[in-house]
Amino acid sequence: MAVYSGSDGGQDLSWLVREESRGFSGEWLDVDAKTVVPLLAASFDDGRLATRWSGAAVAAGASHGLIARIDQGRVVAERVVRVEMSARELGAALPGRDVQALVALPDLSAALLFTGRGYALLAGNVTFVRACLDTGVDQARARFFRDAQRLGSIRPDLAEENRPHWRAWRTAAEVRPESSTARQLALMASFAAARLDGRRFVAKWMGARGRALDAGERLLGRFDELMNDVFHAIDDCALDPDLWERGDLTEEELRVRVLDVLRELGTMACPARTFRHGVEPSSGAPRTT
């Protein structure tokens, strides 16, 4: 193994994780519409997860991985360990159980967060995530819910989030705060308040939409129609002036459309519960980072 300091060309992995290491940051998940699956795994101790992770990584073209320890709820960014992509090397790099660490591919396209609380969070594109599992994504989430209910030691909100059923909401007020739909609403509020430019809004919103669909989040009635209006407005928008054609929306026209949707939904003042998705209050309006 080789160790890279943060000042010596090493990669800072801290931006992948939310404060107190309770999960991945919305900003990172938005890139390429990543899928998240919780696993009842405290470490690479039994070797099976290490074997599947290393196999998926090699198939994705990665010959090595990056590991950062977590101390007092924060990723230790100053020292990043480079480890060969094999089950044996991964196990040697993180010995024991209930470790707190972040494992990532070198291009940061996928990561595995060991929380130190008896479970881990796996994230990446759907193809990579499926390659790391011994079952399908929905089945893995359902299994986690059953095991978390049985053990009783896993965060109740995380267990409930992975309950194996379809979630459907008719109004924005019903949306669960940890859901990807809540992330979409928070991004819309930040864009409408001009705290997020068009390119970042489109990339992040489409990423959150993909995760919402993957998680089986459903919207009903007028709520569904309004969110589809945003999707179609994005599709009709030309953010590059050189590509603009008659009939296309400009960034400002897209902002007006989003603001109109928010006004009808009654969510312009994003509730505090969405702060966990990276939205913070500022001068009475949300801000997305």
Same domain for 213 and 266, yes or no, is yes
Instruction: Indicate whether 155 and 171 sit together in one domain.
Output: no
**Could you tell me if 88 and 202 lie in one domain?**
no
Closest listed residue to residue 75, CA positions, set 58, 52, 110, 100: 100
pLDDT of residue 273: 38
pLDDT of 271:
40
- Among the residue ranges 6-20, 101-115, 270-284, the one predicted with the least confidence is 270-284
Q: Mean of the pLDDT values across residues 112-122? A: 89
Q: 153: which 2 tokens?
A: 């030691």
Same domain, 157 and 187: no
* Whole-angstrom distance, CA of residue 164 vs CA of residue 2: 41
Residues 186 and 139 in one domain: no
Q: Which of 135, 161, 187 is the last residue in one of the domains?
A: 161
Q: What is the chain's percent helix, strand, coil content, to nearest 5?
A: 45, 20, 35
Same domain flag for 157 and 173:
no
Same-domain pairing of 183 and 107: no
129-167 tens-digit pLDDT: 989 988 778 778 878 887 877 777 666 666 666 565 556
pLDDT tens for residues 174-232?
Answer: 888 888 899 999 999 999 999 999 999 999 999 898 888 777 788 888 999 999 999 99
Do 156 and 223 reside in the same domain of the chain?
Answer: no
In a shared domain, residues 144 and 180: no
pLDDT digits (tens, 9 = 90+) for 272-286: 333 333 333 333 333
Domain of residue 134 covers 2-161
Task: Give the list of residues 6+ apart from residue 28 with CB closer than 8 angstroms, or none.
Answer: 15, 16, 34, 108, 111
Residues, the chain, total? 289
Are 119 and 198 found together in one domain?
A: no
Per-residue pLDDT of 245-280, as tens digits, reads 877 899 999 999 999 999 999 854 444 333 333 333
Count of the separate structural domains present in the chain: 2
